Amino acid sequence: MGAISALLLGVPMLAEAAPFTEHWAAYPSPYFYSYGGAANTATSVAQSGTTDGRALQLKLSAYPAAGVGGGITQESSSRYRYGTFTTRLKTTNCSTQPNTGIVTGFFTYFNDGGDYNGNGLPDNSEIDFEWLCAEPQVIYLTMYTDFGPAAHRRVSRILNLATGTLHSTCYYESFSGACQPLTGNENLPTTIPALAGYNSSTAHYEYGFTWTASRVTWWVVHPTTGQRITLWDYQGPASRIPANSSHFLTNTWHTNDWTPPSRPLATQPPNSARYAYVDWTAYVP
């Protein structure tokens, strides 16, 4: 019935994709391809702190163009709809230039301009983990269903994992619009434990999210106990959960207009090459 309903609605559907784990022991990958600024590179390198001694290195060159297109991205050749997406990665480090504007992202994404849910906006199926290198203790969790030139639809949670602080959990309809605070099943858990010493840019951590038609749950694995720390267990309206098969991506890029509240001047381009490292990437339908 789900496939028939989707067909009637015009939603782009694909056959269920097979599970995979990419250990990045060699490059290129059979699952992903690379794109971005000409001076940026992706390759497999020896890396301490990984499970097999190697990692995918995403190199962002000095003084790159701002925006995703000026960065370096790994995108899956296939699209995936529902399942568990996980990675173990270390984000870019800006400790030698604290006001650098760099984003590291691990996420799903699909937008072909179609309005499959019929709400007058282009569908934008996207589920994000993102970090700003100027404040590597903070995690941005975001889920989009629509994105147009003047309006969009997204839910977002911002948290400091090192202190266990939830900064906000909101619904937005534009970047200039006010936060509409979420409550009830859209705001679970209402507290998170602190992960002492957490810094996304100095060590590899395992992150993941499980995406279903009615629920999306984000987590991080405690590096010592191996237990999952639930960061957000979103169980809100299905209309706020992406429904389209999406690509699986990891990237790092320069932002000149997105800054953390603690560093409002963090828009500088990197003055030397910066690197993100991915130990492994996996998907289970």
pLDDT tens across 213-227, in order?
Answer: 999 999 999 999 999
Mean pLDDT, to the nearest integer, of 104-133?
Answer: 97
Angstrom CA distances, 208 to 68, 137, 160, stand at 22, 17, 17
- Predicted pLDDT at 11: 57
Average pLDDT value over all residues in the chain: 95
- Predicted pLDDT at 14: 59
| DSSP assignment of 3-44 | HHHHHHHT----PPPPPEEE--SSSS-SSEEEEE-TT-EEEE
pLDDT in tens, 42-72: 999 999 999 999 999 999 999 999 999 999 9
Contact present, 191 and 157 (Cβ < 8 Å): no
Per-residue confidence band for 241, with pLDDT thresholds at 50, 70 and 90: very high
C-alpha gyration radius of the chain: 18
Positive or negative CA dihedral for 226, 231, 236, 242? negative
- Predicted pLDDT at 17: 82
Residues 7 and 18: their CA atoms lie apart, in Å, by 22
Q: Above 70 in pLDDT, residue 16?
A: no
Q: 168-188 burial, b for 16+ CB within 10 Å, e for fewer?
A: ebbbbeeeeeeeeebeeebbb
Q: Above 90 in pLDDT, residue 9?
A: no
pTM of the model: 0.94
Residues 186 and 172: their CA atoms lie apart, in Å, by 13
Residues 43 and 58: their CA atoms lie apart, in Å, by 7
- CA proximity to 134, closest of 19, 8, 268, 32: 268
Q: What does DSSP assign to residue 68?
A: G
**Total residue count of the chain as it appears in this document:** 285
Q: What does DSSP assign to residue 274?
A: E
What is the distance of C-alpha 47 from the center of its chain? 22
- Predicted pLDDT at 285: 96
pLDDT in tens, 248-274: 999 999 999 999 999 999 999 999 999
Q: Above 80 in pLDDT, residue 104?
A: yes
pLDDT in tens, 155-201: 999 999 999 999 999 999 999 989 999 999 999 999 999 999 999 99
Q: Above 80 in pLDDT, residue 275?
A: yes
Residues 180 and 174: their CA atoms lie apart, in Å, by 11
What is the distance of C-alpha 135 from the center of its chain? 16
Helices vs. strands in the chain: H and E counts, helices first: 1, 17
Mean pLDDT, to the nearest integer, of 81-100?
Answer: 98
222: burial class by Cβ within 10 Å (0-12, 13-18, 19+)? middle
Contact present, 283 and 107 (Cβ < 8 Å): no
Q: Pull the structure tokens for residue 235.
A: 């169980």
